[in-house]
Amino acid sequence: MGFLQKVEKFFINLTVIILILLLTVQILMRNETAYSKLKEMEFSIRNIIQEDAVMRVFGYRELAEEGYIVIELMQDYSLPQVWLVKNGQRVANFADGSVRINVRDGDLLVLDCSFCNEVLWFEITDLSASIKTWYTGQIYRIHGEEEKLGVVQFYDKL
């Protein structure tokens, strides 16, 4: 077997391995629980690596845009057992009938209604103008499950 045939075989094997890895990542990203676990790992790694160290090594600081979202329970009662989950962690409940949280680009938001066996209606009543994922007045109907609201995305700055 000549040298060029060995190199050719190496690149073919490398291409097959890369394709398998890409397919695996795509399959994982479609699964909500796997996606939230990956987001949790990403945030843990970010906490371990301090921003100042990254800035010294790479010479820049990533400016993470921050915004807010307000979600209200459309029924006239409070539900402390219903949670808004951000990146796999419970951050606020609907004990007051309304939740306001700060969000960053890439945050995954989920409404956890698994402890409530009735139909619940939620409305996004206010949010930062720079958030493009949702709109004011958007309504969600949830019945005893977790509902993925989506990943926060901001409009690109000019």
Report the distance separating Cα 87 and Cα 150, nearest Å.
Answer: 11
Q: Are 122 and 90 in contact (CB under 8 A)?
A: no
How does the average pLDDT of the chain come out, rounded?
83
**3-30 helix and 32-48 helix, angle to the nearest 10 degrees:** 100
Full-model pTM: 0.59
Q: What is the DSSP letter of 118?
A: S
Percent of the residues in the chain that have a pLDDT greater than 70, as a whole number: 87
Instruction: State pLDDT tens for residues 11-39.
Output: 999 999 999 998 888 887 787 777 777 77
Say whether pLDDT at 61 is over 50: no
Instruction: State pLDDT tens for residues 70-91.
Output: 999 988 777 888 899 999 899 9
